[in-house]
């Protein structure tokens, strides 16, 4: 059974401890356990290896809906065929 839920998307960004500019993933991955992803500061150029995932990182959180008719209004999203 597939059910549809309302959600909000958030973006987590990593900032440099030295100059407070945003750090961006370099697109490289270090083969380690756990994996590491180098990120370079857009301000001072310092590189930091981040474990397990890269930034920016999207987070999706379910939103509680207080509308009793939500199931009726989302019918176009249903996959029940």
Confidence of residue 81 (pLDDT cuts 50, 70, 90): very low
Report pLDDT for 52: 87
Chain centroid to CA 3: 22
Whether residue 37 contacts residue 57, with contact meaning beta carbons closer than 8 Å, is answered with: no
Chain centroid to CA 47: 21
Q: What is the mean pLDDT of residues 36-54?
A: 95
pLDDT of residue 25 exceeding 80 = yes
* Tens of pLDDT, residues 63-75: 987 766 555 545 4
The model's pTM is 0.68
**Secondary structure of 19-51 in HEC code, one letter for each residue:** CCCEEEECCCCECCCCCEEEEEECCCCCEEEEE
Report pLDDT for 75: 46
């Amino acid at each position: 059974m597939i059910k549809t839920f309302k959600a909000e998307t958030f973006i987590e960004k990593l900032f440099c401890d030295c100059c407070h500019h945003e750090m961006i993933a370099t697109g490289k991955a270090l083969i380690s356990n756990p994996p590491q992803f180098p990120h370079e500061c857009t301000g001072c150029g310092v590189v930091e290896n981040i474990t397990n995932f890269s930034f920016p990182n999207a987070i999706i959180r379910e939103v509680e809906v207080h509308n009793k008719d939500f199931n009726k209004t989302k019918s176009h999203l249903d996959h029940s065929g």
